[in-house]
Amino acid sequence: ARRNVLITGCSSGIGFALAVKMAKDEQKRFKVYATMRNLAKKEPLEEAAGDRLGKTLEIKQLDVCDEQSIKTCVNSIPDRRIDVLVSNAGMGLIGPIECQTIEEMKTVMDTNFFGLVRLLKEILPDMKRRKSGHIVIISSVMGIQGILFNDVYAASKFAVEGFCESLAIQALKFKLQLSLIEPGPVVTEFERKVFEDGMKMDLSAADEETAEMFTNIYLKNYKQIFQSLGQSAEDVAEHTVKIILADNPPFRHQTNTLYTPMTTLKYADPNGDLPIDIFYKMVFHHDKIFSASLNFIKLLRWRSRKSFDLGKPSQ
Ligand code: NAD
C-alpha cells in the first residue's frame, strides 16, 4: 500500500528535495504531504513536482511553532493517517552568545526542539493506536558534537537527540520506528541565511578577542568548510529515502562519510577531552593543519565520488 508521508519545512533545502524525490518515486510508493509555514513560497515546489502535483504530492500549511496549524493540517489528511513523519523544519544560529538575545535563542529551541515535540504530541497517539509508523528526524552531527559558535543550535539538536533516545524505547514497545538523520554541512538556504546573519551581527557586546575570533577565524573558514565538506540537499534526501525504505531502519544515520571521523572522536575518549582538544588545535593553533586537513578532505571527497555508491557528485 502507498505510504502517507508528512514532511515539514518543504519550501527549501532538504525538505524540498525529499518531497520531490518521494513524490517522483517510480513505483509510486508514497503520498507526500509537503508542508510549509508560508504557502506564498509554494510555487517552486509546485513547479518541481510537475505532473505529480495533486497526485503523489500535496502542499499544506504547517508551522511547527503553532499547535493549531499542526492540528488543522493533520485533520485534513484522510483518516489522519501518517505512516512516515519527517520532522525537518529547523533553523540555525551562530555567533558569540553575548551578542544574541534570549528571545533569538528561544526561537531556535522553539523551532528545532519544541517543533518536534508539538508534531509528536499530535501524531504519536495515532501511530501508537495503529502500532505502525516511522518517525524520521533531520537532526545534525551537531546533535552529537558541539562546534565553536554554534552553542545554542547544538543545544537544540542535543535536546532533539535526548528526547528521541528516550522515546525510542517506548516506540519499540508499540512497534514504531524512529530514525535520526545526522547530516554534516549541507549547502542550502540554511547555510546562506546563517552566514549572512553572522556577517551582519552586532558584535559590540563581545570583547575584542571574541569578536575577532568570530569574524577572522570562524566566518573566514565557514564558506570553505561548506565547499569542501558540504553535501547537497539531494544527497541527504537520497540517504533519507533509503532509511525510510529499510526493513530495519537504524536509530542513527550519518549522511556524510567525510565527517564521521570527527564524530568518532567523541566515542574514542570517555573523558570527552579528545574532540575538544582536536577542534581547539584545528581552530586556534594550527591554521596550517586546518587547511591541510581541508585539502585532505577534498582529496577524500574526490576519491569518494569514484567509489561510494551514495557519494555521487553533490554540487
Ligand atoms: P533550509 O533553511 O533550506 O530549510 C529549513 C526549512 O524549515 C525552511 O524551508 C524554513 O522555512 C522551514 N522552517 C523554519 N521554521 C519553520 C516553522 N516554524 N514551521 C515550519 N517550517 C519552518 O535548511 P536545510 O538545510 O534544508 O534544513 C533542514 C533541516 O536540516 C534543519 O532541521 C536543519 O537543522 C538540518 N540540518 C541542516 C544542515 C545544513 O548544514 N544545512 C546540517 C545538518 C542538519
**Average pLDDT of span 237-246:** 98
Mean pLDDT to the nearest integer, 195-223: 93
Shortest-distance Cα residue to atom 30 of ligand 1: 138
Top pLDDT among 118 and 259 is at: 118
Residues belonging to the chain? 315
Residue 314 placed within a domain = no
- CA 142 to chain CA centroid, Å, is 9
- Indicate which atom in ligand 1 lies nearest the CA of residue 189: 3
Cα(112)–Cα(186) distance, rounded to whole angstroms?
17
> Under 8 Å CB-to-CB from 91, ≥6 apart: which residues?
107, 108, 111, 112, 190, 193
pLDDT tens-digit series, residues 5-17? 999 999 999 999 9
CA distance linking residue 59 with residue 48, whole number of Å: 12
C-alpha cell recorded at residue 271: 573523558
Q: Which domain holds residue 31?
A: 3-267
106, 138, 156: residue to mutate for ligand 1 pocket, most atoms within 8 A of CB: 138
Ligand 1: residue of 21, 63, 186 to mutate (most ligand atoms within 8 A of CB) is 186
Domain-located, residue 56: yes
Instruction: Name the pTM for this structure.
Output: 0.92
The whole-number pLDDT of residue 245 equals 97
* Predicted interface score ipTM higher than 0.95: yes
Residue 296, domain member (yes or no)? no
Is residue 280 domain-resident? no
Q: Please count the structural domains in the chain.
A: 1
Q: How are beta strands 30-36 and 3-7 bridged, if at all?
A: parallel
What sign has the CA pseudo-torsion 312, 25, 79, 33?
positive
pLDDT in tens, 258-283: 888 888 888 888 899 988 988 888 88
Q: Please indicate, yes or no, if residue 290 is contained in any of the structural domains.
A: no
Position 289 in a domain? no
Which class for 283: exposed (0-12), middle (13-18), buried (19 or more C-beta within 10 A)?
Answer: middle
What's 181's domain CATH number?
3.40.50.720
Average pLDDT of the chain is 91
296 or 206: which leads in pLDDT? 206
41: in domain: yes
pLDDT tens by residue, 64-88: 999 999 999 999 999 999 999 999 9
Q: Is the pLDDT of residue 201 over 70?
A: yes
Residue 1: HSE in the Cβ half-sphere, 13 Å Cα cutoff: 7
Cβ < 6 Å from ligand 1: which residues? 8-9, 11-15, 37, 63-65, 88-91, 111, 115, 138, 140, 183, 185-186, 188-191, 233
Tell me if 251 is assigned to some domain. Answer: yes
Q: How confident is the model at residue 314 (pLDDT cuts 50, 70, 90)?
A: very low
